[in-house]
Structure 1
Amino acid sequence: MKMFHRKVCVVCVVCVVVGLVGTLVMTEEQFCSDGSINTSCKQKAHSLYEEDVDSVSYEQLKQMLTAGNLQLFDVREPDEFKEGAIPGATNIPLSEVQQAFTLTPEQFTQLYGVLMPEKHSPDVMLYCQRGRRSLTALHTVHKLGYSRACHYVGGYSEWLERESQ
């Protein structure tokens, strides 16, 4: 029973951290005997999770990069960014996202070397290594009024894998 409560607590903490609006309540029957969530529950949670998220696939990102005008922000740490990044990306670590997107346009440009995006621009894209930090960053910028911002779910890991094929 302790494992069940620990799993429920982890699910609740994740829901709060990510900023989900709804409450995710699971019964004991929705857990496997080892305490993991049944696959059907995972799929339901995933669909709830994805409904309010603007996610972009590798193929969509490639098209957007080709079309131009995309402002691509890498929310990984500077040392990760230095090891490799999607071409044209600007590094704004997750810990700086809230502060960065509340700066004046002049401060933003001075600090990050690019123009600050317009709040309702559809050309704002966030990514990280695997899509988790960029999802957190996406929720942050959405709350700041960047309502059309998106994130690349595959992250740099998928980008690197797909580009090397």
Structure 2
Amino acid sequence: MNRVVHLVALVLLCVSADRADQCDDGADSCNKWTETSHNRPLNTDDVVTYEQLKDMMSTGSVQLFDVREPDELEAGFIPGATNIPLGDVEQALRLNPDQFRERYGVPKPGLEDSDFVLYCQRGIRSLSALETARDLGYSKARHYAGGYSEWIQLEPQ
């Protein structure tokens, strides 16, 4: 078991060192893009920060979707979010607008809606959901990378 842990740590260290070599030009080039699992660049404009999400919520200009499993919501959720578990995202986004509203109780996001935001616990599943949404044509969808774990740290209790 320890050998496996050490091997994984070594691989991660090598990958990190390799990425660092790509970013030694002093520019923000490595902060601007993240590669998704589809090797498609993800612009930081596609990520919503805590401050941006709070602003969107205060003006009512957000369609917020929590892609965690329903049992995870027992620990809490961001107010106003609609739950669509990650495994259901593709099917949900393929529904027609009437079916979507009937199933989830909210309007279906439009393909060009920039207020369509996905989140999960720490940003991993929401990034996957974002990739799915992008593959289905939701070109301006975004995700809250900090997720619920950041939300509960920053949100006044």
Provide Cα deviations, 1:97-127, integer angstroms capped at 9, x if missing partner: 0000000111101110101111101110000
1:59 is displaced (CA, Å) by 1.1
Instruction: Describe how 1:116-131 pairs up with structure 2 within 5 A.
Output: 116-131=108-123
1:81 matched to 2:73 = yes
Q: CA deviation at 1:158?
A: 0.3
Which residue is 2:11 aligned to? 35
TM-score (norm 1): 0.74
How many percent identity over aligned positions? 50
Query: Residues of 2 paired with 1:156 and 1:66: CA distance?
Result: 18
Q: Which residue matches 1:49? A: 35
Structure 1, unaligned runs of 5 or more: 8-31
Q: Which amino acid aligns with 1:146?
A: Y
Which letter maps to 2:61? N
Cα RMSD (Å) of the superposition? 2.4
Q: 2: distance between equivalents of 1:129 and 1:73?
A: 12
Other structure's SS at 2:35 match: helix
TM-score calculated relative to the size of structure 2: 0.77
Deviation at 1:48, TM superposition (A): 4.1
Answer 1 or 2: which has greater strand percent. Answer: 2
User: Residue 101 in 1 paired to residue 93 in 2?
Assistant: yes
Gaps of 5+ in 2: 23-29
- 2:107 match: secondary structure: coil
